[in-house]
């Protein structure tokens, strides 16, 4: 009855466990290193000025100013893109579930969405740029929002598709059995069941959108001014990081890390916020 640790199956089990632990450490370690890098290099340069001012003359050579233009620009771009993607993805997800559930078309639509999800965002950027040239448009907040919506759409739709798919069918029947109208079932029961998942899907897409540099590079452009119009170019945080890190001046590079830190903090806030919101909303959902 005594355990013999040198038996083949026990050896294999220990080996596999070691591999798992090492993989976990690699992932956790990378995250730690990334955070350490941007915090240790960015925190000293993260001043009040950084988040409250736009670049002044000579900013990119180390003189006064901040990246408020990029912070606001990124928030506008990601919010606009997320809102626009939401307008399309919720109906698509519901349509997929209600009408295309078992049909071949449903499979094609899901496949198309998965392919779109995998397309690198620089391709979306290039696509948007080509379209803008064809239409005679210039880089602008609006163009950036449109392209970000395209980037976010497949992520949001597939995430919502899963939410809609997990909706228990008995639930509708239970509400109907009490004499609910269809509208009451949708608004009071189905929405309540799906809302946490929808919120998570939206914030997931927002997080992806706000961190994306390649898609806004050609389409939204960059400017030192605050974004004031949909038709003018706007700055964004990922590009602020890119431009500042690629200069030879150490103080500007430090600001690049500080900008990265700001972006990371925003993304973390959004993802913790989404956790918090969905935990609260999830309290009553049926699993």
Partner 1 sequence: MNSHIQVRNLNVFYGKQQALKEINIEIPRQQITVIMGPSGCGKTTLLKSLNRFLELTDGTQISGQVLVDGQDIYASAVDVTEVRKRVGLLAQRPTPLPMSIYENVSYGMYIHQMRKDKREYKDAVRHYLELAGLWEEVKKRMHDPATSLSIGQQQRLCLARGLAVEPEIILGDEPTSALDPISSQHIEKKLLELKSQYTTVVVTHTLRQAKRLAEHVIFMYLGEVVEAGPAQEVFNHPQQERTRQYLEGLF
Footprint on this chain of partner 1 (rule: CB under 8 A): 168, 170-171, 173-181, 184, 188-189, 192-193, 283-287
CB of 33 to partner 1, least distance (A): 40
Helices (H), the chain: 8-42, 48-52, 68-98, 104-118, 121-135, 141-165, 169-177, 182-184, 191-210, 214-219, 237-245, 250-281
**Shortest distance, position 172 Cβ to partner 1, whole Å:** 8
Cβ nearer to partner 1, comparing 219 with 278: 278
d(CA 163, CA 262): 31
Quick one: 134 or 183, whose CB is closer to partner 1? Answer: 183
DSSP 8-state secondary structure symbol assigned to residue 138: P
Distance CA(279)–CA(287), nearest Å, equals 13
Question: Residue 14 or residue 103: which is nearer to partner 1 going by CB?
Answer: 103
In 3D space, the residue among 26, 37, 12, 108 whose CA is nearest the CA of residue 261 turns out to be 37
Least distance (Å) between residue 184 CB and partner 1: 5
CA-to-CA dists, residue 167 to 13, 162, 245, angstroms? 38, 9, 46
SS3 226: coil
Q: In whole angstroms, how close is the CB of 278 to partner 1 at the nearest point? A: 13
What is the smallest separation between the CB atom of 175 and partner 1, expressed in angstroms?
6
- Report the residue number, 170 or 250, with the smaller CB distance to partner 1: 170
Q: In the complex with partner 1, which residue's Cβ is closer, 200 or 215?
A: 200
């Amino acid at each position: 009855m005594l355990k013999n640790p040198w038996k083949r199956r026990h050896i294999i089990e220990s080996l596999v466990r070691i591999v798992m632990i090492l993989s976990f450490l690699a992932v956790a370690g990378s995250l730690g290193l990334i955070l350490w890098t941007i915090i240790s290099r960015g925190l000293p340069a993260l001043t009040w000025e950084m988040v409250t001012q736009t670049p002044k003359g000579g900013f990119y050579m180390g003189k006064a100013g901040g990246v408020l233009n990029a912070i606001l620009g990124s928030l506008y771009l990601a919010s606009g893109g997320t809102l626009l993607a939401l307008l399309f993805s919720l109906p698509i997800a519901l349509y997929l579930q209600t009408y295309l559930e078992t049909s071949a078309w449903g499979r094609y639509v899901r496949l198309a969405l998965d392919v779109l999800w995998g397309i690198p965002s620089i391709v979306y950027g290039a696509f948007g740029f080509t379209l803008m040239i064809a239409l005679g448009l210039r880089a602008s907040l609006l163009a950036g929002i449109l392209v970000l919506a395209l980037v976010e759409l497949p992520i949001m739709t597939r995430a919502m598709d899963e939410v809609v798919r997990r909706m228990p069918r008995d639930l509708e029947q239970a509400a109907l059995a009490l004499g609910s109208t269809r509208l009451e079932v949708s608004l009071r029961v189905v929405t309540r069941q799906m809302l946490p998942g929808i919120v998570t899907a939206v914030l997931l897409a927002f997080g992806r959108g706000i961190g994306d540099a390649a898609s806004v590079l050609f389409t939204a452009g960059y400017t030192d001014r605050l974004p004031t119009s949909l038709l003018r170019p706007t700055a964004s945080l990922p590009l602020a990081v890119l431009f500042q890190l690629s200069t030879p001046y150490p103080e500007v590079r430090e600001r690049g890390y500080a900008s990265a830190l700001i972006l990371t903090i925003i993304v973390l806030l959004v993802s913790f916020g989404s956790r918090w919101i969905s935990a609260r909303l999830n309290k009553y959902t049926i699993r």
